[in-house]
């Protein structure tokens, strides 16, 4: 997995300045378009273009099962992960509708779903194992499995690059993965579980307390091993979360902007940025999830979420919606007249 330490590309300071100068002479009061102005300037610097554009979008959904589901931390049985893969491939999920709306290329990758080796036409099969281990008892994955899962994310970004995509969106599916993400965030941020654990798939107050107890047990059990971002990911993570980490890092390495989705995806971004701090420049945050821990993760990332719609679906739904905001920022930057052009 040495590739994850390869250099992250630097945004162009010249294009950042040029875009800032253009924003200053467009027919509007300075700063009146708020975050849309910042988005346009950032994209110009990242894409090294006078006029940024996001015509071609790529969405990768990574799916995997979690051994921690054995602890009863989800409102749904583990079989739902596999069932949702069928729904994605049949075009019936929320992300299918949003990908169609955005004319985005959508792919679905099996990184570790149980009993999912055949019968799914169109599914990209890169299974590391049939789910992670129960991390209250042992490491969620081996070092070799972590390496494989990171590579799955890198491979998805390489496919996006071959298709000449302008922006990458990663999504996830995996019953019990909010428990994994909460545990990861607790370990990275050094916060107790009661600050970060939420309803996930819709568990009640008793279920939330159970998730908190499970996570606290795991944090105590692995305390000596939780000493680096990669070790934390290995001991507490999921294959789909590791794939997102790999994807985000590789986007920064090849120079492809990213829209990060909700709590789970943002936790993956938190790990990725802790591995590669310069990656932060390449990440846009689609929305603030209703999930309890997301605000803490966003604060640690110094992130500005573009939307807040009380969503907590995952599967890249919030990021796909936010793509419209980024595209609007590009359109405004390109098409608005300057004061001189408008004769004002």
DSSP 225: G
Which tokens sit at 233? 């990911």
| Spatial strand order in the sheet of 167-173 | 124-125, 105-112, 57-64, 167-173, 258-260, 283-287, 305-307
**Where would I find the beta strands (DSSP E) of 119-237?**
124-125, 167-173
- Give the pLDDT score at 198: 65
What is the C-alpha separation between 261 and 283, in angstroms, rounded? 10
- Model pLDDT, residue 75: 81
pLDDT per residue of the chain (344 residues) written in tens, 0 to 9: 899 999 999 999 999 999 999 999 999 999 999 999 999 999 999 999 989 999 999 999 999 999 999 998 988 899 999 999 999 999 999 999 999 999 999 999 999 999 997 779 999 999 999 999 999 999 999 999 999 999 999 999 999 999 999 999 999 999 999 999 999 999 999 999 988 886 555 667 776 888 899 999 999 999 999 999 999 999 999 999 999 999 999 999 999 999 999 999 999 999 999 999 999 999 999 999 988 899 999 999 999 999 999 999 999 999 999 999 999 999 999 999 999 999 99
Give CA–CA dist 166/259, Å, rounded: 11
Supply the pLDDT for residue 15: 98
Distance CA 111, CA 127 (A): 4
CA distance 5 to 1: 8
Q: How wide is the angle at C-alpha 238 spanned by C-alphas 90 and 89, nearest 5°?
A: 5
Q: Which CA distances in Å does 72 have to 60, 213, 217, 221, 243? A: 28, 12, 14, 19, 24
Residue environment code for 37-60, b if the CB has 16+ CB neighbours within 10 A, otherwise e: bebbbbbbbbbeeeebbbeebbbb
Strand partners, 26: 338
How far, in Å, are 121, 175, 238 from residue 158 at the CA level? 22, 27, 21
Q: Tokens 């300071």 sit at which residue?
A: 13
pLDDT attached to residue 162: 98
The per-residue DSSP string of 32-55 comes to TTTHHHHHHHHHHHHHT-SS----
| 61 close to 95: Cβ distance less than 8 angstroms | yes
Sign of the alpha-carbon dihedral angle for 250, 178, 129, 271? positive
Distances (CA, A) of 249 to 4, 112, 231, 292, 309: 7, 21, 17, 26, 27
CA neighbours closer than 13 Å in the CB half-sphere of residue 337: 6
Tally the residues of the chain.
Answer: 344
Active site members: 315
pLDDT score, position 203: 65
CA pair distance 162, 154, nearest whole angstrom: 13
* CA dist 117 → 19, 128, 309 (Å): 48, 11, 36
Distance (Å, whole) CA 280 – CA 301: 8
CA dist 194 and 133 (Å) reads 23
Vertex 236, ends 154 and 229: CA angle to 5°? 60
- Which pLDDT score is estimated for 17? 97
- Whether this model's pTM surpasses 0.95: yes
């Amino acid at each position: 997995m040495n590739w994850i330490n390869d250099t992250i590309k630097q945004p162009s300071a010249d294009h950042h300045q040029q875009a800032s100068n253009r924003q200053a002479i467009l027919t509007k009061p300075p700063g009146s378009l708020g975050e849309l102005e910042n988005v346009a300037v950032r994209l110009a610097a990242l894409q090294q273009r006078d006029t940024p554009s996001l015509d071609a979008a790529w969405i990768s959904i990574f799916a995997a099962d979690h051994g921690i589901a054995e602890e009863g931390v989800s409102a749904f049985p583990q079989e739902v992960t596999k069932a949702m893969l069928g729904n994605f491939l049949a075009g019936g999920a929320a992300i299918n509708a949003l990908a169609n709306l955005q004319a985005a290329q959508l792919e679905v990758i099996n990184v570790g779903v149980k009993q999912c080796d055949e019968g799914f036409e169109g599914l990209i099969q890169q299974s590391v194992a049939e789910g992670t281990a129960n991390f209250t008892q042992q490491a969620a994955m081996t070092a070799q499995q972590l390496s494989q899962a990171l590579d799955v994310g890198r491979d998805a970004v390489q496919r996006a690059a071959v298709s000449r995509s302008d922006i990458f969106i990663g999504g996830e599916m995996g019953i019990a993965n909010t428990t994994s993400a909460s545990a990861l965030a607790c370990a990275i941020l050094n916060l107790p579980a009661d600050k970060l654990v939420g309803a996930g798939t819709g568990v009640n107050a008793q279920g939330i307390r159970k998730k908190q107890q499970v996570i606290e047990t795991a944090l105590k059990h692995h305390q000596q091993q939780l000493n680096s971002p990669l070790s934390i990911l290995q001991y507490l993570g999921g294959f789909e979360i590791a794939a997102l980490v790999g994807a985000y890092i590789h986007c920064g390495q090849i120079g492809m902007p990213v829209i990060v989705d909700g709590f789970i995806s943002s936790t993956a971004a938190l790990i990725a940025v802790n591995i590669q701090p310069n990656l932060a420049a390449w990440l846009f945050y689609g929305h603030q999830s209703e999930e309890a821990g997301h605000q803490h993760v966003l604060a640690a990332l110094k992130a500005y979420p573009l939307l807040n719609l009380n969503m907590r679906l995952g599967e890249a739904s919030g990021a796909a919606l936010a793509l419209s905001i980024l595209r609007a920022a590009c359109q405004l930057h390109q098409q608005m007249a300057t004061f001189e052009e408008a004769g004002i």
